Structure formats: C-alpha cells, structure tokens
Structure 1
Amino acid sequence: MATFDDLRRLALALPGAHEVIYRGAPWFNVGKKTFALVPNDRAILKLDKGHQELLFEIRPETFSKCPVATVYWSYVELAHLDADELAGLVLEAWSQVVPKKVSRPVLEAAKA
C-alpha cells in the first residue's frame, strides 16, 4: 500500500522537483509547473491523457477524473497502489511538465 510519504519521497527525488504548500496542501512542482498534489485523502497526478483514460476505464476504484480547467488530471487513491506502481505514476506525472531533454535520460534509466 502506497502512502503520501512514498509520493513525497518519489517526487522530491526527481530532477528539479520541489514541494510548495498552497492553500494548506503539498504541491510538487518543477519551476512553477505542478505535476502532483495532495489536497486531501487522495493524490492528484498529471498523467498522460491516453494513459489516464485507460486507467479511468479499467480501474475506476483507484483512478477518477479531476477536472482542471479544460482538461482532466487524475484523482489517485494511494492506498490502492503498491510502491512500484506509484513510482511509475509519479515519474510519468513529472515527465508531463519537464522538457523532453530533461525527462528522456531519466525515463531511459528507469527502464533499464
């Protein structure tokens, strides 16, 4: 079972990531771009659109739509994930907000 502490550790280990508190909740950013936040008992992650749509369909008890402006982010029930799955999701969310030249080597190292 994954926890908020796992998410924090994974997020802050990524290049350029830092934590800010906004409206009393921890947000994980690179520069001013947010890739994960935990406003209450579940996390919100910025996942790839195609991947999140698949997750909404096949695992609705774990992933659901979080409307942000004109797009969806993903509500994620951390307790339904194991640490490895959370690590992959946090890496994916981070890669959505950093330049490809930054994410590419990190993603390739994660596959190895």
Structure 2
Amino acid sequence: MGVTIDDARAIAGTLPRSYEALVRDEVRFRVGRMVYAAFYQDDTIMGFGFPREEREALVASEPDKFLMPRASDMRFRWVCVRLDALDVEELRELLVDAWRMCVPKKVAAAYEG
C-alpha cells in the first residue's frame, strides 16, 4: 500500500482545467488560482480540499491516515493525508472530490458523465 506524487500526477492530469504549479518548491494542483491539492514534507503528505465542518470527524476516524492541516491552512477548506496510507483508488477519490470543489458543476458533471 502507498502511493506517490507520480500517482497523483497521473490522476490530476485527467481532470479538466487542472494543472500543476510549483510554489516555494512544493507541488500544487490547481484549477485557475484555486489549489485543490498540495504536497509537503518530501512529498509524503498531501493536503487537499475538504469541507471544513467535516475535517475533525475525518481525522478522528483514521488518525493514522489523516491529519489536520498546518496552522496557516486551518482557515481553508483543507485537510492532509499520509501518502503511504493510501491506495490508488482512495487517492483518486480524494483528488476528484477536492477538484470538484473548484470547478463549475457542469465541468464536474461532464467529467463524470
């Protein structure tokens, strides 16, 4: 088990309007100016868009997998996950859900269509 940033690139590359950016030596996946996933700590942790009100429950449900974002990111709809605790299908689900938060509903519907 465990995925890499290259697995994430392969998935993100299939999502309409998604592109990769390098910010302060950290990889980010974006739609427009909105970041929906970012990689930290030598690409072992991925932060991703997630409803703020559900964040604590997610982290509490699987604390070995999910963790709260760094203090500077707490104001955002954001949570983090350890890549070594995921498989490719889980990674795909997290990335697509985060991406869906950034694109117009019709773009998401067309992708899922």
Unaligned runs of 5+ in 2: none
Partner of residue 108 from structure 2, selected from 84, 87, 103: 103
Partner of residue 61 from structure 2, selected from 58, 62, 66: 58
Which amino acid in the other structure matches residue 7 of structure 1?
Answer: A
Task: List 4+ stretches of structure 1 deviating above 6 A.
Answer: none
What's 2:38 paired with?
37
Which amino acid in the other structure matches residue 35 of structure 2?
Answer: T
Give percent identity, aligned residues only: 30
Residue 70 of structure 1 and its aligned partner are, at CA, apart by 2.0
- Normalised by the length of structure 1, the TM-score is 0.85
Conserved in 1, the CA contact under 8 Å of 2:51 and 2:77?
Answer: no
Spell out, residue by residue over 1:22-44, the C-alpha distance to the aligned partner (whole angstroms, 9 max, x if none).
Answer: 00111100111100011222111
Unaligned runs of 5+ in 1: none
Conserved in 2, the CA contact under 8 Å of 1:36 and 1:44?
Answer: yes
> Is the counterpart of residue 83 in structure 1 residue 88 in structure 2?
yes
Partner of residue 93 from structure 1, selected from 98, 101, 109: 98
Q: Distance in 1 between matches of 2:11 and 2:55?
A: 20
- Normalised by the length of structure 2, the TM-score is 0.84
Closer, same or farther: CA 30–72 of 1 in aligned 2, 3 Å? closer
3-state SS in 2 of match to 1:38: strand
In the alignment of these two chains, the number of paired residues is 108
Residue 55 of structure 1 and its aligned partner are, at CA, apart by 1.8
